[in-house]
Structure 1
Amino acid sequence: MAASADLTPVQPQHRFDEARLAAYLADHLPDFRLPLNVQQFRGGGANPAFLLHAPGRSYVLRKRTLPKKGLDIAASTARDFGLISALHEAALPVAAPRLVCADASVIGTPFYLLDHVPGRHFRDPNLPGMDPKQRHALYDAMAAALAQIHALPPAQTGLPANGDGQDYLVRQIAALIEQYRGNRTEEIAPMERLLDWLPAHVPAERTATLMHGNFRIDNLVFHPAEPQVVAVLDWDLALIGHPLADLAINCMPYRVTIPGMGSLQGLDFIESGIPGEADYVAAYCRHAGRPAPEEGGIAHWNFYLAFALFRVAVMAQGIVKRSQAAGNGTAPPAPALKAYAAVVRSVSHQAWHLVDGGDD
């Protein structure tokens, strides 16, 4: 079951008519029985998740409060459910899909339902409470799960291809540049350089795979006792893109410290048992059937890292801009706002150093 630390009562802004939901499930799920108890998972942002307890069964309900670009909420919800259904059919580690509901009158918005997958859920990438051998095995399992995702033929996902991984990078960089320019609150020299450098240096490798888009250890459920990923969560950002961009995003805890999120910066990797970035990337290559990095298995790795770092900086800048626009009444505390502004500066310097080799 989910740990109690992962759950809260349903938050006021996400409450719905639980009796109406229970009646709907009783009509549409053959094995559903009353009574129904509802709790909310922590986090989730604009796409919250809820744990539904019923006699003998537990489910996860996901709903969207914001649609994907170009879709309404009903179509976005159907897309998410269709992807998870395709991944489950392909034997990837995802929860079994149960139903999708387009009728907004049930809980106020379309939603879908999955089986709840019991197991271990770690919010901190440092894996406190584990011994070095356990930590190493869990990170190896994470690398294996990411390689398994990337090995699925894109046609089996049901997602639109929209070109290949190179096209994905071109589109994403253009969108991030536009987003950053719209949210810019000060001129940061390395960010200005990255705005020109990144679109001019997209690698020519034409490959396309399923990308999770937010593959982190806190989006994984591990087997209760074994070093095995039994469910990958949070597929809201999934699309057909570039596997190395996905891997670089996965490696961000090695590079970045973001307020409220765990980081691997400054960790003693030998003592902890957690592989360093190079060893983790080598493990991914092994599971993905790529040559080791030192044997040419990953070309232009610094570009993909710079892209992922730039993405983090743009997201942090968006928080700074929105916080300033919100005014004192709803903005985060000044220290938090200052911390996000510092993330933009430090991460952009790191990204530019990777691609330029400079020290500014």
Structure 2
Amino acid sequence: MVSGITGTLDATAVAALTGWVRAEGLGSEITDVVPLTGGSQNVVVRLSVDGRRLVLRRPPPHPRPNSDRTMQREIAVLRTLAGSAVPHPVLVAACEDHDVLGVVFYLMEEVDGFNPGNEIAPAYLADPLMRHHVGVNYAADVARLGQAPWQGSPLEDWKRPGSFLERQVPQWRTTMAAYRAQDGYAHDSLPGVDELCDWLQAHQPAEYVSGIVHGDIHLNNTMLRRDSPEVAAFVDWEMCTIGDPLLDLGWMLVCWPVAPDPLGSAGHLAELGGLAERTELLEAYCAAGGRRTEHLDWYLALACLKLGVVIEGTWVRYLAGLASREAGERLHASAVTLMGLGSAVAAGDNPFR
């Protein structure tokens, strides 16, 4: 199985994987096994199959109850996007047979790029135009994702019945209720969350056009090309669904690392400066075919609510003894900031313009 210490594959798992690779006709030998992530998150391992560089993605060493479903969702996404203009990892093969590794997993081609939350390619250090243009191109690719065909695709099976928009606020109210049931969690830990929920329900757009929604679109979930200002691949598709792509637009703008930056999540790229402004991202999104909307403030406020409630979960896990105090306090502070920004949007004082 996967080692819980290193986040890589032990000898038994490599042997089982090798047997599966051979049965699938992918090759005969696995070498160069290197962990990319591990621990409580999904495990990502770089390896070579007969010299071909691939990446394996599987649930953590101690899978959560929905871990297999998460992998199946990601597999459906990559199958749906195959051949599209949306930058994504290329799926090589997937396995749902628990006799191999005990979990659902898949192999994809290695993405030639870098994650700007972890490193910066030299070309971006040297040229501010690279840093500026990559944001414009990034926004255009977010628009292309929302337009990608999904009807009749594997991802269509993940579309829930009913209105995507009508589900949003009740879902996050329910999550907040669960948080408030945790010992030590103050009822007003997220100031303004109930009022923001009320405003969102009162101002919900009447209709929307269904499309693919990444669900967590920001630079830390993006690989950039090293020598050109382009997206190499969007990654981490575990929250992807069929819904209203304008939520991705709002999420992208909220998370963009120029002031106000509620997450501070793009590391050195943001510190270098020269990034496109949010108005430029919006223009690029629309120019690439993304839907224009008179309800942009609503999607910005919803993104603030949803992201804030999601990351508040780490503070709740700290209170339950399941996360570190440092991570809990840091993300709680960001969640409080997001509630404030969302409340400002709802009050007509949009800080993202």
Shorter-normalised TM-score: what interval? 0.7 to 0.9
CA deviation vs aligned residue, 1:7-53 (integer Å, no higher than 9, x gap): xx9844664521221232123234x2424222222379543221112
CA contact (8 A) 1:10 1:38 kept: no
Amino acid at match of 1:325: A
SS at match of 2:16: helix
Aligned counterpart for 2:74 among listed residues 69, 77, 80: 80
User: CA 1:79 to 1:348, structure 2 compared with 1: closer, same or farther past 3 Å?
Assistant: closer
Amino acid at match of 1:344: A
C-alpha displacement at 1:121, in angstroms? 3.0
Structural RMSD (CA): 3.1
C-alpha displacement at 1:310, in angstroms? 0.8
Cα distance in 1, alignment partners of residues 197 and 241 from structure 2: 24
Aligned counterpart for 1:207 among listed residues 206, 209, 232: 209
Cα distance in 2, alignment partners of residues 156 and 125 from structure 1: 38
Amino acid at match of 1:21: L
C-alpha displacement at 1:257, in angstroms? 3.2
Number of aligned positions between the proteins: 330
What residue number does 1:253 align with? 255
SS at match of 1:118: coil
TM-score by length of 1: 0.80
User: CA 1:35 to 1:345, structure 2 compared with 1: closer, same or farther past 3 Å?
Assistant: closer
What residue number does 1:281 align with? 282
What residue number does 1:89 align with? 83
CA contact (8 A) 1:100 1:111 kept: yes
SS at match of 2:46: strand
C-alpha displacement at 1:141, in angstroms? 1.7
What residue number does 1:170 align with? 166
CA contact (8 A) 2:43 2:57 kept: yes
User: CA 1:347 to 1:120, structure 2 compared with 1: closer, same or farther past 3 Å?
Assistant: closer
Cα distance in 2, alignment partners of residues 234 and 341 from structure 1: 22
- Any residues of structure 2 matched to 1:23-102 within 5 Å, and which? 23-30=19-26, 32-42=27-37, 46-64=41-59, 65-66=63-64, 68=66, 73=68, 76-102=70-96
TM-score by length of 2: 0.82
**Percentage identity across paired residues of the two chains:** 24
Cα distance in 2, alignment partners of residues 49 and 215 from structure 1: 19
SS at match of 1:323: helix
Cα distance in 2, alignment partners of residues 169 and 45 from structure 1: 31
Cα distance in 2, alignment partners of residues 44 and 242 from structure 1: 32
What residue number does 1:294 align with? none
User: CA 1:323 to 1:84, structure 2 compared with 1: closer, same or farther past 3 Å?
Assistant: same
CA contact (8 A) 1:87 1:157 kept: no
What residue number does 2:344 align with? 353
**Structure 1 spans left out of the alignment, 5+ residues:** 1-8, 291-296
Stretch deviating more after TM superposition (315-324 or 271-280): 271-280
User: CA 1:44 to 1:248, structure 2 compared with 1: closer, same or farther past 3 Å?
Assistant: farther
C-alpha displacement at 1:246, in angstroms? 0.7
What residue number does 2:244 align with? 242
Are 1:341 and 2:342 matched, yes or no?
no
Aligned counterpart for 2:234 among listed residues 232, 242, 256: 232
Cα distance in 2, alignment partners of residues 48 and 175 from structure 1: 28
CA deviation vs aligned residue, 1:83-136 (integer Å, no higher than 9, x gap): 212211335322222211122222221211112122233226998625210011
